[in-house]
Amino acid sequence: MCLLSLARKTWHRRASVKRHHLSFGEESITETMLMDLADRFPGDVVIQPFNKVHEGRYGADWAWAFQSADGTLTLPMLVQAKLLNLQDTEYPEIKRLVGRHQPPVRQIDLFIQTAESWGWPAIYAFYNHLDDSSRVPDICGSLALAGAAPMPESWGISIADAYNVRAALDDQTFDTHQLHSIAFHCLLCGGGSGRRGSQGSPEVALRALHGLRGALPFPDVDSDKRPLPDAPFLDTPAIFHAVRAAASADEPTIREARVQALREEFPQLAGVVILRDEPRTERDSKP
């Protein structure tokens, strides 16, 4: 429900941007979305941006981790955000070239390369608003099961496997990329089963990512290389320990020094998000 509300807010913010001709871009959407996440996520949240104020790391990736309540299981993912353009036609930045590389390198190739070297899933987060909401697929099993009316604004944030996104290029259109995308909240919705799974959000999210991998409208020559684990990680990647240690430092100078060290070690990252499930209640454990 938390992710659904973030997506709906994002949808409405993009609508305002269109209506009022605001220059409220991808980074601003990400920042406000993370603020909402910090306020609303029912479990434990750590959000650590690596940018200094006003520095702006345009197009950098975020490292996300879903963790079980006891912290023993982790599903990390590398996330790259992209905006649907104001004409509702395409994501014009997917193909963008980056860096001082000669010849120029596509951002998506570097993104996938980093995720491969870390063994993490690479996920696009698309920020959407469409004037014609009938173009949004209505495929959430959970909402249908709950008897909810179609909810196009749940697609304010949609997600896709980066390999599927790359396989569809040079096509950057919404109508193409929605074919292998799901609404953000469907990462954790369990498809209407109502179950959280014995291993919590890492297990549920991983199942959703495997489902995304199966959505292959385009031939993908790299499918055997995709880092998509069969089970959540038993060892939490070191970066998340380091971020927790930085976030828990009471002394601001110590905290800043730890963040600075992370910033230097991971220049490609805009920041880190860690979402730990809330401890289970009696109600959860009933069949």
Residues of this chain that bind Zn ion (CB under 5 A): 140, 142, 186, 189
Q: CA 139, CA 124: separation in Å to the nearest integer?
A: 19
Residue at 277: amino acid letter: D
Is residue 43 within 8 Å of 277, Cβ to Cβ?
yes
Q: CA 84, CA 279: separation in Å to the nearest integer?
A: 36
Query: Shortest distance, CB of residue 185 to Zn ion, whole angstroms?
Result: 6
Query: Shortest distance, CB of residue 277 to Zn ion, whole angstroms?
Result: 18
- Go through 12-46 and write b for each residue having 16 or more CB atoms within 10 A of its CB, e for each that does not: ebbeebeeeeeeeebbebbeebbeebeeebebebb
Query: Shortest distance, CB of residue 142 to Zn ion, whole angstroms?
Result: 4
Query: Shortest distance, CB of residue 134 to Zn ion, whole angstroms?
Result: 19
Is residue 129 within 8 Å of 18, Cβ to Cβ?
yes
The closest alpha carbon to 157, from 79, 57, 40, 48, belongs to 79
Bridge partners (DSSP) listed for residue 276 = 44, 67
In the block, residue with structure tokens 């993104």: 111
**Nearer residue to Zn ion within complex by CB, 80 or 142:** 142
Query: Shortest distance, CB of residue 152 to Zn ion, whole angstroms?
Result: 14
Query: Shortest distance, CB of residue 208 to Zn ion, whole angstroms?
Result: 8
**Nearer residue to Zn ion within complex by CB, 140 or 269:** 140
